[in-house]
């Protein structure tokens, strides 16, 4: 089983593009913390999402915001200067918006005031074979 759930802060504004066939693709980095010997260690993850998840990420997520993603781990192999390199990616199929930026503008410390994001979803537009 290849499932991963990560919660962290977005490292840069997500990059939303559309493929030639019209598929939405969004990429961003995600910082997570783990602890070893009482010290926090930050890990950076390359996240890719597609379709509606990509559009939500590209339109509503900004650098510094906290998100939770669910998906799977994939590996891309490529050649660099005669050496085989491996790049780890997280293919996110679910995205949960947790909070705003870590610090607000004008040097005020603390979370920004949350503004609800209206997301209107017509269940007739969903093409993933829901059983109901």
User: What's the pLDDT score for residue 127?
Assistant: 52
Share of the chain residues as helix, strand and coil, in percent rounded to the nearest 5: 10, 50, 40
Nearest to 68 by CA among 88, 83, 90: 90
Say how far apart CA 26 and CA 10 lie, in whole Å.
Answer: 13
* Buried b or exposed e, range 87-118, using 16+ CB within 10 angstroms: eebbbbeebebeebeeeeeeeeeeeeeeeeee
Q: How many residues does the chain have?
A: 132
Say what the pTM is: 0.71
CATH 1.20.120.160 fits 4-125, yes or no: no
- Which letter does DSSP use for residue 125 in this model? G
82: left (phi over 0), alpha (psi -120 to 50) or beta: left
pLDDT in tens, 45-59: 999 999 999 999 999
Contacts of 105 (CB under 8 A, 6+ apart): none
Question: Using one digit for the tens of pLDDT, what is the confidence trace for 31-45?
Answer: 999 999 989 999 999
């Amino acid at each position: 089983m290849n499932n991963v759930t990560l919660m962290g802060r977005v490292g840069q504004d997500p990059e939303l593009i559309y493929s030639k066939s019209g598929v939405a693709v969004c990429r961003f980095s995600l910082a997570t913390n783990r602890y070893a010997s009482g010290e926090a260690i930050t890990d950076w993850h390359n996240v890719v999402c597609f379709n509606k998840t990509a559009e939500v990420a590209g339109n509503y997520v900004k650098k510094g915001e906290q998100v939770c993603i669910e998906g799977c781990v994939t590996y891309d192999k490529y050649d660099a200067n005669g050496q085989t390199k491996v790049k780890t990616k997280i293919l996110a199929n679910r995205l949960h918006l947790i909070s705003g930026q870590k610090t607000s503008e004008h040097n005020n410390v603390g979370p920004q005031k949350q503004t609800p994001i209206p997301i209107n979803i017509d269940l007739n537009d969903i093409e993933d074979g829901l059983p109901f």
